[in-house]
Amino acid sequence: MKISFKPGTMIYPLPAVMVTVGSTPDEYNIITIAWVGTLCTNPPMCYISVRPERHSAELLRRNMEFVINLTTAELARETDWCGVRSGRDYRKFDEMHLTPGKAQIVQAPIIEEAPLSIECRVKEIIPLGSHDMYIADVVNVLADERYYNHETDKFELAQSDPLVYVHGGYYHLGEKIGKFGWSVEKGKNK
């Protein structure tokens, strides 16, 4: 039996990512976001949604660039802390002992400790109500080579122990139960 519940955003799990913004070291900031996702493969596009009153929203609008840094269970504390503290009051890279790295195309920094950093250039900002959606072109991806499988020519990011967010909590990703298309392959399970 299902019960009716008030309308809300209950699409979980989501990745818990640390988005980096700013064009110079004195303004670099990190904001934790779970409202993030893929929009298109070709051309590669994604989005983040940010409350307009957030400190990072001002930096996003001014610079029109950001980096999505995937997080891991090892980075759970840093991820949470950067989501509940404001860049107006703290220098988050310093407070969390994270290393700002140089992106290859955008001016916003990457987080060296993240397994994957997706460089983005804002294409459009859509005000939606409580959040503004930043639609962006993916202009470069930097990945930790520890998770690159030379035999398959793929990144195995599940090996990094990705952090996911489910309705107020952080969790490990969990055990693999199949691969895309396995349900229709003959004679193969996973």
**Does pLDDT of 190 surpass 60?**
no
Strands 14-15 and 163-166: antiparallel
Single pTM value for the model: 0.93
**Does pLDDT of 131 surpass 70?**
yes
pLDDT in tens, 63-119: 999 999 999 999 999 999 999 999 999 999 999 999 999 999 999 999 999 999 999
For the domain covering 14-184, report its CATH number. Answer: 2.30.110.10
**Segments making up each domain of the chain, as ranges:** 14-184
**Does pLDDT of 126 surpass 90?**
yes
- CA–CA separation, 16 and 166 (whole Å): 9
pLDDT of the residue at 188: 61
